Amino acid sequence: MSGSDLGSRWGLKGDEDLGNGVHAVFQVENGFSSATGALQQGGLLFGRQAYVGLTSGYGNVTMGRQYNPENRIFWTIDAFTLGMAGGLSQPIAANQARAQLGRANNSVEYVSPDYAGLRVRLMYGFSDTGVAGNLKGGSISYDRYNLKLGAGYVIGENAYGTGNYASFTAGGNYKIYSFTVFSGFHRDWNSWANSETKFLGTQIYDMVPIGVTWNATPALTLIAQYAHIFDRTRSSAASQSSSLYAIGLTYSLSKSTFLYSDYGQIENRNGSQWSLGGGLYSGAPVGPGNPTARTFQVGISHLF
- Going by pLDDT thresholds of 50, 70 and 90, the confidence category of residue 20 is very high
For residue range 48-102, what is the model confidence (pLDDT) as tens digits? 999 999 999 999 999 999 999 999 999 999 999 878 888 888 777 656 777 788 8
Q: What is the mean pLDDT of residues 36-46?
A: 86
Determine the Cα–Cα distance for residues 250 and 219; give it in Å rounded to an integer.
Answer: 8
For residue range 233-269, what is the model confidence (pLDDT) as tens digits? 765 566 778 889 999 999 999 999 999 999 999 888 8
**pLDDT at 217 exceeding the cut of 60:** yes
Cβ burial of 244 (10 Å; 0-12, 13-18, 19+) is buried
**pLDDT at 133 exceeding the cut of 70:** no
Confidence (pLDDT) at 284: 67
* 124 residue type, one letter: Y
Confidence (pLDDT) at 80: 92
Determine the Cα–Cα distance for residues 59 and 112; give it in Å rounded to an integer.
Answer: 4
Sequence spans of domains, the chain: 8-302
**pLDDT at 168 exceeding the cut of 60:** yes
CATH class, domain 8-302, is: mainly beta
For residue range 218-237, what is the model confidence (pLDDT) as tens digits? 999 999 999 998 888 765 56
Lowest pLDDT segment from 7-16, 54-63, 167-176 = 7-16
Determine the Cα–Cα distance for residues 66 and 46; give it in Å rounded to an integer.
Answer: 11
For residue range 101-127, what is the model confidence (pLDDT) as tens digits? 888 999 999 999 999 999 999 999 987
Confidence (pLDDT) at 86: 87
- Going by pLDDT thresholds of 50, 70 and 90, the confidence category of residue 279 is low
- Going by pLDDT thresholds of 50, 70 and 90, the confidence category of residue 270 is confident
Confidence (pLDDT) at 186: 95
Confidence (pLDDT) at 238: 67
Confidence (pLDDT) at 230: 86
Three-state SS string over the chain comes to: CCCCCCCEEEEEEEEEEEECCEEEEEEEEEEECCCCCCECHHHCCCCCEEEEEEEECCEEEEEEEEECHHHHHHHHCCCCCCCCCCCCCCCCCCCCHHHHCCEEEEEEEEECCCECCEEEEEEEECCCCCCCCCEEEEEEEEEECCEEEEEEEEEEECCCCCCEEEEEEEEEEEEECCEEEEEEEEEEEECCCCCCCCCCCCEEEEEEEEEEEEECCCCEEEEEEEEEEEECCCCCCCCCCEEEEEEEEEEECCCCEEEEEEEEEEECCCCCCCCCCCCCCCCCCCCCCCCEEEEEEEEEEECC
Determine the Cα–Cα distance for residues 158 and 163; give it in Å rounded to an integer.
Answer: 6
Lowest pLDDT segment from 81-90, 102-111, 128-137, 146-155 = 128-137
For the chain, the average pLDDT equals: 88
Confidence (pLDDT) at 118: 97
Confidence (pLDDT) at 163: 84
* Radius of gyration for the alpha carbons in the chain, expressed in angstroms and rounded: 20
What is the rounded (10 degree) CA torsion for 77, 279, 163, 189?
Answer: -30
